Amino acid sequence: GKGQTGVLEPLTLDVKTDRRGLLAQGEKQGKKSGPVPVIKDTTGKDLSGKHPVSALMEICNKRKWMPPEFVLVHDSGPDHKKNFLFKVRINSEEYQPTIASPNKKHAKAQAATVALQAMGLIPKDAPVPNN
């Protein structure tokens, strides 16, 4: 303390390193709408659990391609409720989803998912994250 009197005992901390058991009773354990399940890159690296844009960037980097270029194709609707449609250009190939998204981040993820599906790296029925 201030007067440097008292017992000096080291602090003992019990740190939990895993996430098991951190849910309250009655809560479901499961992902909300996490990243798209990516199979494996041609290099054999497991990309599952990554966001589609991150996975696409990583694949382009591994294959020594230019980074993917996301281009806004269309935005429509009133300012408070716009819809966005992006396409992604990789090695002069363009990939574009058919449905617009309510925000830019989700629209880019959709474009990246379409590109990954066209490359055969994720299943055609893979969900797009809502982040």
Report the alpha-carbon angle 59-74-122, nearest 5.
30
Structure tokens at 131: 């982040």
**Tens of pLDDT, residue by residue, the chain (131 residues):** 577 777 777 767 666 566 565 555 555 555 444 444 545 555 556 666 789 999 999 999 999 999 999 999 999 999 999 999 999 999 989 999 999 999 999 999 999 999 999 998 888 776 666 65
d(CA 18, CA 1): 35
Give the chain's radius of gyration (CA, Å): 22
pTM over 0.75: no
pLDDT at 36: 46
Cβ neighbour number for residue 52 with a 10 Å cutoff: 27
pLDDT at 122: 84
